Amino acid sequence: MMARERLRIGMQKSGRLTEPALELLTRCGLSFRQSRDKLFCFGEGEPVDLLLVRDDDIPGLLAQGVCDVGIVGRNVLDEFQLTDAARDLAPLSELRPLGFGACRLSIAVPLEMHYSEPAQLEGQRIATSYPGLLGTWLREQRVGASVVTLSGSVEIAPRLGTADAICDLVQSGGTLAANQLHEVEVVLSSEAVLAGPSTLPVDERGDMLELLLRRLDGVIQVRESHLLQLHASGSSLDAITQLLPGGPRPTLLPVFGETD
Ligand code: PRT
Ligand code: ZN
């Protein structure tokens, strides 16, 4: 692979993490010009570019060195690390938790099941898109259940009769309730993270990354102290969520470039 001097950040092209990630990078003083194919964004001030891809592709691009760092859900990062494909590639680590995209990977069972402990899952079929994380949790709990891997619509598997329980991402719990399921175990608490190879590049990209990490720490610290102040002054939840990336403020960033 050709040596690069500019730091390349992989992030989600279009989805829940896109707008809060861009907002965070903007707060770190970065601005970008989007290419015609909308996959690449050239950094205008600092030598930092963006590659916009599906979130599932980000860990692989990091492990192969196509991107230097990436913004991705911990759920996607940790699941990738448990795949066979990851075994022969560079190990990845979480450089910073980013404080948005919060959700949990949870096991949910039909409402009529009276659940009290993991042992009740013995012999059950559990549908999930996260076979690595679920398999690890089941082994830790010493529960022998069969993992049914589905790529989407996991929540309808119990109604279709293809599984007895599910293990899926939950945020508000609305999707579970709509499918007559209830959450019984949290397998992983997740949020968006800045991920990268465990060994950072020792060149201009490494220097830029260090600068970015310092700025990120500053932005995150300011946000946290504002949240604490608002909380202490008894502010409304609305006022507090204004401060979170992806909160209800109507900003899609002009810096992100030519729209058409
Ligand atoms: O196209 P691409 O592959 O890039 O996008 P995607 O559809 O795979 O991802 P996207 O945009 O849905 O999610 C990106 C990341 O956001 C996830 O990997 C998580 O880290 C994070 N995230 C946070 C969530 C949720 N909250 C979430 N609620 N990802 C998915 N959901 C889904 C969940 O799968 C379920 O269907 O929302 C439903 C549950 O939500 P509630 O609020 O009803 O509980
Ligand atoms: Zn995805």
User: What is the full per-residue pLDDT of the chain (260 aa) written as tens digits?
Assistant: 567 899 999 999 999 999 999 999 999 999 999 888 889 999 999 999 999 999 999 999 999 999 999 999 999 999 999 999 999 898 999 999 999 999 999 999 999 999 999 999 999 999 999 999 999 999 999 999 999 999 999 999 999 999 999 999 999 999 999 999 999 999 999 999 999 998 878 899 999 999 999 999 999 988 888 888 878 888 777 776 666 665 544 444 444 444 44
Q: How far, in Å, is the centroid of ligand 2 from the Cα of 152?
A: 10
Residue 199, pLDDT score: 85
Residue 2, pLDDT score: 60
Token pair 């050239």 is at which residue? 42
Residue 243, pLDDT score: 63
Q: Return the ligand number nearest the Cα of 169.
A: 1
Ligand 1 pocket residue status of 57, Cβ below 6 Å:
no
Residue 38, pLDDT score: 86
Residue 4, pLDDT score: 82
For residue 239, give every residue at least 6 positions away whose Cβ sits within 8 Å of its Cβ, in sequence order, or none. Answer: 230
Do residues 125 and 162 touch, judged by C-beta distance below 8 A? yes
pTM over 0.85: yes
Residue 260, pLDDT score: 41
For residue 187, give every residue at least 6 positions away whose Cβ sits within 8 Å of its Cβ, in sequence order, or none. Answer: 104, 105, 106, 107, 130, 133, 134, 137, 167
With the most atoms of ligand 1 within 8 angstroms of its CB, the residue from 171, 176, 183 to mutate is: 171
Ligand 1 pocket residue status of 56, Cβ below 6 Å:
yes
Token pair 């948005």 is at which residue? 100
Ligand 1 pocket residue status of 45, Cβ below 6 Å:
no
Q: Please report the atom of ligand 1 found closest to the CA of residue 175.
A: 43
Token pair 């996959």 is at which residue? 39
Residue 74, pLDDT score: 98
Of the candidates 159, 160, 166, the residue with the CA atom closest to the CA atom of residue 184 = 166
